[in-house]
């Protein structure tokens, strides 16, 4: 479910349970590199064991497609086990978690980007729109909003840069990636919401870019693990790094 570029992709990393009795269960999961023809039409019945239903209709993030990929009695050669047929067996969960760490920094960066753009739009609109004879940016209520927005964007950017630099240097970054993802995605949503309010009625109109950001921002709260899951990761990692 929810495979980004599921239709266009030529290669799909498929995590499957290969030993349902494994204890703990995550040790019974293996990742397969499965191949398909990029862009072959929905429901074409092109592959044995793989069905691609119509694209999922989404509220936002329409620049990339999202599909379901339904595998049933699907077969792929054992050479396609990620990490090799022997060494890769049962390693799938660890491999996927490793990629999630990079993915979380990626989503954090997208949160910073959306928040930064929403701030720019608010700075511009608040100096264009006049009410009661003054630019709305002259009202302290609006300035306080702008101040909070800019502060959060800066903090989200610094958290994201720190996580990315640790990852780049090959150092442990699980806690930092979780923190960056949690804070930057929540910041994205909050700053977009504030910018939307600053736009007044026009924020609700498709004529203004903020309307699209308003629909795009929530995905970042979900993709690569929800905020609740980030808090679980952060809590666990904190306790393991500070054991008494
Ligand atoms: C547009 C889009 C693109 C995506 N692309 C991909 C992709 O390319 N590849 C991919 O693998 N996935 C992709 N996803 C899936 C995405 O990673 C999941 O949707 C996300 O991790 C949430 O999982 P879920 O939908 O199963 O929600 P659920 O796990 O059902 O969560 C529902 C709610 O319960 C909460 N919850 C769940 N478990 C706990 C817990 N233990 N404790 C407390 N709260 C909990 C969640 O935080 C959430 O609020 C995509 C999703 C979207 C929307």
CATH code of the domain containing 125: 1.20.140.10
Q: What is the pLDDT of residue 9?
A: 92
Measured between alpha carbons, how far is 141 from 138 in angstroms, rounded to an integer?
9
Asked if residues 191 and 149 have their Cβ atoms less than 8 Å apart, the reply is yes
Q: Count the domains in the chain.
A: 2
CATH code of the domain containing 81: 2.40.110.10
Is the shortest distance between the CB of 151 and ligand 1 below 6 Å? no
Structure tokens at 195: 């910018």
β-pair partners for 30: 16
Pocket test for ligand 1, best of 110, 223, 235 (most atoms within 8 A of CB): 223
The ligand 1 atom at the shortest distance from the C-alpha of residue 219 is 53
- Judgement on whether residues 164 and 116 belong to the same structural domain of the protein: yes
Is 46 catalytic? The answer is: no
- Judgement on whether residues 98 and 86 belong to the same structural domain of the protein: no
Is pLDDT larger for residue 40 or for residue 38?
Answer: 38
- Judgement on whether residues 55 and 111 belong to the same structural domain of the protein: no
Q: How far is the CA of 228 from the centre of ligand 1 (A)?
A: 10
- Judgement on whether residues 125 and 137 belong to the same structural domain of the protein: yes
- Judgement on whether residues 74 and 195 belong to the same structural domain of the protein: no
81 alpha carbon, distance to own chain's centre: 26
How many C-beta atoms surround the C-beta of residue 184 within 10 A? 29
Q: Scan for tokens 């090959």, then name that residue.
A: 170
- Judgement on whether residues 111 and 211 belong to the same structural domain of the protein: yes
Is the shortest distance between the CB of 223 and ligand 1 below 6 Å? yes
Burial of 110 (0-12, 13-18, 19+ CB in 10 A): buried
- Judgement on whether residues 137 and 44 belong to the same structural domain of the protein: no
Q: Which residue's CA is minimally distant from atom 10 of ligand 1?
A: 3
- Judgement on whether residues 66 and 100 belong to the same structural domain of the protein: no
Q: Is the pLDDT of residue 224 over 90?
A: yes
Q: What is the pLDDT of residue 51?
A: 87
Pocket test for ligand 1, best of 222, 225, 234 (most atoms within 8 A of CB): 222
**Omega into 24 within 30° of 0, i.e. cis?**
yes
Number of H helices, E strands in the chain: 5, 8
How many C-beta atoms surround the C-beta of residue 149 within 10 A? 24
Domain that holds residue 122: 94-241
- Judgement on whether residues 37 and 98 belong to the same structural domain of the protein: no
Measured between alpha carbons, how far is 135 from 114 in angstroms, rounded to an integer?
25
Catalytic entry in 48, 190, 224, 228 = 224
- Pick from 55, 90, 125: which residue ends a domain? 90
- Give the model confidence (pLDDT) of 126-173 as tens digits: 999 999 999 999 999 999 999 999 999 999 999 999 999 999 999 989
Q: Which helix (H) or strand (E) holds 98?
A: helix 92-128
Is the shortest distance between the CB of 219 and ligand 1 below 6 Å? yes
- Judgement on whether residues 131 and 220 belong to the same structural domain of the protein: yes
């Amino acid at each position: 479910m929810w495979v980004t570029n599921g239709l266009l992709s030529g290669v799909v990393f498929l995590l499957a349970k290969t030993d349902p009795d494994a204890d703990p269960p995550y040790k019974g999961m293996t990742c397969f590199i499965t191949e398909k023809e990029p862009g072959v039409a929905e429901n074409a019945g092109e592959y044995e064991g793989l069905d691609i239903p119509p694209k999922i209709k989404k509220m936002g993030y329409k620049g990339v497609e999202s599909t379901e990929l339904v595998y049933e009695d699907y077969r792929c050669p054992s050479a396609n086990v990620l990490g090799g047929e022997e060494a890769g067996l049962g390693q799938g969960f660890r491999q996927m978690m490793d990629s999630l760490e990079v993915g979380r920094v990626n989503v954090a960066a997208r949160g910073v980007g959306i928040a930064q753009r929403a701030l720019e739009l608010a700075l511009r609109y608040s100096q264009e729109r006049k009410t009661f004879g003054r630019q709305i940016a002259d009202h302290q209520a609006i300035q306080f909003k702008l101040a909070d927005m800019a502060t959060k964007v800066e903090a989200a950017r610094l958290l994201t840069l720190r996580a990315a630099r640790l990852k780049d240097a090959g150092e442990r970054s699980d806690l930092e990636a979780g923190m960056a993802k949690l804070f930057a995605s929540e910041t994205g949503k909050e700053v977009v919401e504030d910018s939307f309010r600053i736009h007044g009625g026009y924020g609700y109109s498709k004529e203004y870019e903020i309307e699209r950001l308003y629909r795009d921002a929530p995905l970042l709260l979900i993709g690569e693990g929800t905020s609740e899951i980030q808090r679980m990761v952060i809590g666990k990692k904190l306790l393991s790094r500070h054991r008494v």
